[in-house]
Structure 1
Amino acid sequence: MTCLGKYGLRVAAAAGLVPALPAPGADFSGSLALTSDYVFRGISQTKGNAAPQLGAKVAFGSGFYGAAWASAVDYGDAVGSDAEVDLVAGWNRTLARRWNLDINLTRFTYPGTRAPLDLDYNEVIAALTLDQRWWAMLGWSENALGSGGRGVYAEVGAKFPLSDTFRIETVAANYDLDGYDDNYRRAQVSAIYTIGRADLRASAHWTSDGAKRLFPGVAGSRVEAAAAWNF
């Protein structure tokens, strides 16, 4: 829902998703993380505060997979919800050895949101990756960010391995939000160091003035750090 942003998907999780008995041909994976600031598409979801995050995924030989991901959020007492839970159903396949295609439907949910607010929404996401290094992603929703309007998110990114354990990732994106009658651009640069099953990440985020108009106080330039254990 990353990690190619949320795509590599920031994609995401709740405990108890994984069945007690493994299905034939199924591959289970997950992650447990702590971030200093949960930033989604350039916007802080925790007002600059730390957040624990948990993810789980089951993938099948056919290419189909299901995933879930959960994080703490802070939208204020008026909203009520202090958690985001994303549920994902998708299909992933390597094409002609060098290309990978991932198509999924992600359901963003916010348990505990106070009525009459409804922040839940669906997004169809497609990502095409070349040589596991270069990618382009497109997300489309009829109710982006629970705004009631269409949203189109377009992202390109690149990964630059500097060694077997250290890499740099870059992202540039545009988010067109009809429900807010505006759009904004974002960029991100991350340094990731891998130690065994653990990833240590430091990211710098930048957003255009459009994001500051739409989301005052939680957009703009910021730095966040995260540690994740993958299993």
Structure 2
Amino acid sequence: MKIFKLALAAATASVALGGAAMAQEVSLSYNVGIASDYVFRGVSQTNEDPQVFGGVDLGYGVGYAGVWASNVDFGTDDPTVEVDFYAGVKPTVGDVSMDFGVLYYGYSKDKGLTPGKYSYTELKAALSKPVGKATIGGAVYFSPEWPGDLSTAVYYEANGSIPLNDKFSLSGALGKQTIEDGADYTTWNLGVAYALNEKLSLDVRYWDTSEHDFGSIYDSRVAVSLKASF
């Protein structure tokens, strides 16, 4: 009888979970935009030239997946296009939102699985929590195959945002990029976003790094972006 009750409970739970899964809806969203510069972790990815980008995101319950693409220019004849693929889950515990995912940064005209290649993978763990009107968070990204020498790398970030009114919001981040057998640096950014309407937003952001000696793409800069989301 005890075994029967356990089996019945398991069956009931399966039906309940199945019903919950069926109740979930697949959501699709799209984005496209332009920017005066493509800045990633404080470093220009377009050799300080403009950017055109776009992506598609799919959501199902706490799960998500997506693809995003942009032009790039590393001052070489190699990659001209970046295409990223990502997937993960975003569970919540109380008012804490978490994000566990994997990202693949792919580049055109790559060199394959050899030193000097550009494409690489990162694992992501992030969380955020509302504090009053503001939201604060942190994230860690780990790569086992950093571009160039295929060494491991870790990026740590603390971030926050706060709405100023119905249209304006302020956000910023402080991060540290560490690379095994490579050059570490610190980066930070602060910017204001303005919602032109429900689908169109404008962002003006100041970026900087601790290592201007690495080259002009590591210098301080202001990037302006216009993004449409559907």
TM-score range, shorter chain: 0.7 to 0.9
1:145 to partner: Cα distance: 3.3
CA RMSD of aligned residues (A): 1.6
TM-score by length of 1: 0.83
2:101 — aligned with what?
A: 104
Structure 2 letter corresponding to 1:43 = V
2:69 — aligned with what?
A: 70
What are structure 1's unaligned runs of at least 5 residues? 1-23
Please say if residues 171 and 190 of structure 2, whose CA atoms lie closer than 8 Å, have aligned partners that are also in contact. yes
What are structure 2's unaligned runs of at least 5 residues? 1-23
1:105 to partner: Cα distance: 0.3
- After TM superposition, the structure 1 stretch with the greater mean CA deviation from structure 2, 42-51 or 117-126, is 117-126
* Alpha-carbon distance in structure 2 between the residues aligned to 1:194 and 1:144: 36
> Does residue 145 of structure 1 match 2:156?
no
Deviations 1:55-102 (A, max 9, x none): 1110102x1111111110001334x11011110011112221x11000
Alignment of 1:49-198 (within 5 A): 49-61=49-61, 63-78=62-77, 80-96=78-94, 98-113=95-110, 117-131=116-130, 133-180=135-182, 182-195=183-196, 196-198=198-200
1:6 — aligned with what?
A: none
* Alpha-carbon distance in structure 1 between the residues aligned to 2:28 and 2:93: 22
Specify the structure having the higher radius of gyration (Cα).
2
1:45 — aligned with what?
A: 45
| Between structures 1 and 2, the one with greater helix share | 2
Other structure's SS at 1:144 match:
coil
- After TM superposition, the structure 1 stretch with the greater mean CA deviation from structure 2, 106-115 or 118-127, is 106-115
Structure 1 letter corresponding to 2:67 = A
Please say if residues 81 and 114 of structure 1, whose CA atoms lie closer than 8 Å, have aligned partners that are also in contact. no
Other structure's SS at 2:147 match:
helix
TM-score by length of 2: 0.83
